Chain A
C-alpha cells in the first residue's frame, strides 16, 4: 500500500511534468523562431561587422 502510494505520487508528478514540458516551446529553443533541422544560425550584428557589414 505504501509502495503504491509512493509510486503514484512520484509518477503522477512526473507525468504532469512531461505534459507541461511537452507544451512549452522554450524546452527546445529560447527566444525567436525555432531553427529548422540542419538550418544554420543567422549571422548576428557582430558577425556582420567582422565580415564588412551586412550583405545586400
Chain B
C-alpha cells in the first residue's frame, strides 16, 4: 500500500513536471531527502529512482527551461573546485574501494548543489525549494516525534520508517537537521506564498517546530541538544522581547525536564563529564590521530581514511559513596573509528586544501547572508519584506549545521549542500533583481567603459 502510494506520488510529480520542469528539480530534492526507495519494498526499490529524477531534473532544465537569468556564482565555482579536488583524492585514496563507495554519492550531492542555483530564477522557485526540503524532512521528523512522545525513543533505538542508518535516517544527523530547519519553518509560515500565512499554517508550523525539538530527545543525540541551545541563544540575540521569550524558554525547559526519560538526562549529563564517556574519549582520540595523520599526508588520505586508525585511550570514572570517592581508570583499545566531526573529516580525508575550501564555502555563506540581511532589513516596500528574514533563516540554519558539524561527520550531507545551493540561488537572484545593485553595477560598467576611451584619447592627444 505504502509502496503504491509513493510510486503514485512520484508519478504525479513526473506528470506535472512535463509542463513545469522545475517540479522535477523539486522531486529530486524530495527523493534525495526521503529516499522513498529505501522505505518501499516494491516497485521503487527495484528502480534507480534517484538516478531517474537526477536525470529528469537536469534534462528538464537543459532542454525546456529559460536559462537567460541563470548565473554561475563564485561559491558554485568553489563547490566545483571541491568536487574536482575530491575526485583527485579519490583516485589517490588510501582505501580505494571504500573511497569509491563514498564518492558515488558525494559527487551527486555536490553536482546538485552546483546545479540547483541555476534553476532558482524566481522568488517562487526559491520558496518552493525550501518548502519541499522542509516538508520532505518533516515526514521523518513527524514520525520520529510521535514515536518519541509515545515513549519509543532511545540512543540508536528510534526507528524512522525503516531500520536504516543512512542519510537523514541516522539519529545525530536528523537531530542536527531538524534543529537547523526551525528558522526556515518559521520563515515559510510568515512569508510563504504557496501556503499563505493563516492560522492553519501557524498551527502546523508550531507543531512541526515542536516535533523538531523532540527529535534530539528521541534520538538522545547530544549534538541536537547543543544545537537547540545555540538556536535559542541566537533567537534571543535578535528578538524584540528578549526577557519574555527567554523566560518562556526557561519555563518550557523546566516543565519538560521531569517528563524526559532518565536515560536521556543521564546521557546528556555526559556532556559535562566527558572523561567517563567512551564515545567522547574515542572522538578526542580520533581527532588526535587525524592531526598526526595530516602532518604526514597534508593532502589527505581520501574518503574513509579513518579506517586506518588504531586508538588507545583511557576513560576515567569517579564514583562517590559517602566520604569515599573511587576513581576507576580503564584503558580502551579501538580502531577504524569514524571522525565524528565534519572539520576533522575534511582534514583527514581531503587534507589542508580540502578543509580550507570547505571552510571558505561555509563562511562565505554566512557573510553573504549577513550582507543580504543588512542590505534588505531597512526596506519598507511590500515586496521587500521577505528577503532579509530569509537571509537570516538561512544563516541561522548554517550556524546550527556548523555547530552540529563539530560532533558529527556530515561534511557532505546532501541536505546541507542543498541549503548552500539555496543560499547561492538567493544571492544570485537578489543581485539580479535588486534595482539598487543593478544601477550600481551599470554605473560601474559605464565608468569602466569610459576609462579606456579617455586613456586612448589622452594618448592620441599627447
Kindly identify which residue among A10, A14, A18, A41 contacts B142, using a CB–CB cutoff of 8 Å: A10
Is B408 interfacial (CB 8 A cutoff)? no
Q: Contact check, B143 vs A6: say whether CB atoms are below 8 A apart.
A: yes
Is A48 interfacial (CB 8 A cutoff)? no
Kindly identify which residue among B66, B131, B132, B135 contacts A29, using a CB–CB cutoff of 8 Å: B66
Which segment of B50-58, B119-127, B325-333 sits at the interface?
B119-127
Kindly identify which residue among B124, B146, B194 contacts A5, using a CB–CB cutoff of 8 Å: B146
- Closest residue of chain B to A40 (Cβ to Cβ) is B68
Q: Contact check, A9 vs B142: say whether CB atoms are below 8 A apart.
A: yes
A-B pairs with lowest CB-CB distance, top 10: A10-B139, A6-B143, A6-B142, A2-B146, A22-B16, A27-B124, A10-B138, A30-B122, A26-B124, A14-B135
Query: Which residues of B93-112 have CB atoms within 8 Å of chain A's CB atoms?
Result: none
Q: Contact check, A14 vs B20: say whether CB atoms are below 8 A apart.
A: no
- 1/0 contact trace for A6-47 toward B, CB 8 Å? 110111011111111110101111100001010011000010
Instruction: Please name all residues of chain A whose beta carbon is closer than 8 Å to the beta carbon of B132 when the two chains form the complex.
Output: 14, 17
Q: Contact check, A28 vs B22: say whether CB atoms are below 8 A apart.
A: yes
Is B13 interfacial (CB 8 A cutoff)? yes
Q: Contact check, B150 vs A2: say whether CB atoms are below 8 A apart.
A: yes
Is B315 interfacial (CB 8 A cutoff)? no
Instruction: Please name all residues of chain A whose beta carbon is closer than 8 Å to the beta carbon of B39 when the two chains form the complex.
Output: 7
Q: Contact check, A18 vs B16: say whether CB atoms are below 8 A apart.
A: yes
Q: Contact check, A18 vs B2: say whether CB atoms are below 8 A apart.
A: no
Q: Contact check, B124 vs A17: say whether CB atoms are below 8 A apart.
A: no
Kindly identify which residue among A6, A15, A41 contacts B146, using a CB–CB cutoff of 8 Å: A6
Query: A4-B2, A10-B135, A10-B139 in contact; A21/B194 too (CB < 8 A)?
Result: yes
Is B307 interfacial (CB 8 A cutoff)? no
Instruction: Please name all residues of chain B whose beta carbon is closer than 8 Å to the beta carbon of A41 when the two chains form the complex.
Output: 68
Instruction: Please name all residues of chain B whose beta carbon is closer than 8 Å to the beta carbon of A35 when the two chains form the complex.
Output: 66, 68
- Closest residue of chain A to B39 (Cβ to Cβ) is A7
B300 to chain A, nearest CB (A): 38
- 1/0 contact trace for B147-188 toward A, CB 8 Å? 100100000000001000000000000000000000000000
A46 to chain B, nearest CB (A): 6
Q: Contact check, A2 vs B143: say whether CB atoms are below 8 A apart.
A: yes
Residues of A in contact (CB 8 Å), total 30
Q: Contact check, A18 vs B22: say whether CB atoms are below 8 A apart.
A: no
Instruction: Please name all residues of chain B whose beta carbon is closer than 8 Å to the beta carbon of A9 when the two chains form the complex.
Output: 138-139, 142
Kindly identify which residue among A3, A10, A27 contacts B128, using a CB–CB cutoff of 8 Å: A27
Instruction: Please name all residues of chain A whose beta carbon is closer than 8 Å to the beta carbon of B124 when the two chains form the complex.
Output: 21, 24, 26-27, 30
Q: Contact check, A28 vs B12: say whether CB atoms are below 8 A apart.
A: no
Q: A2 to B146, alpha carbons, bound, how many Å?
A: 7
Is B19 interfacial (CB 8 A cutoff)? yes
- Closest residue of chain A to B13 (Cβ to Cβ) is A18
B12 to chain A, nearest CB (A): 6
Q: A24-B124, A27-B125 are in contact. List 18 more A-B contacts (CB 8 A).
A: A2-B146, A2-B150, A3-B143, A3-B161, A6-B161, A10-B138, A11-B6, A14-B135, A17-B131, A20-B194, A20-B195, A27-B20, A27-B124, A28-B20, A28-B122, A30-B433, A35-B68, A37-B64
Q: Contact check, A17 vs B135: say whether CB atoms are below 8 A apart.
A: yes
Query: Which residues of B23-78 have CB atoms within 8 Å of chain A's CB atoms?
Result: 23, 26, 30, 34, 39, 64-66, 68
Q: Contact check, B5 vs A11: say whether CB atoms are below 8 A apart.
A: yes
Q: Contact check, B143 vs A18: say whether CB atoms are below 8 A apart.
A: no
Q: A10 to B133, alpha carbons, bound, how many Å?
A: 11
Which of A15, A22, A40 has the largest number of chain B CB atoms within 10 A? A22
- Closest residue of chain B to A19 (Cβ to Cβ) is B16
9 contacting pairs across A/B (C-beta < 8 A): A9-B138, A14-B136, A19-B16, A21-B194, A26-B124, A28-B20, A28-B122, A30-B122, A30-B124
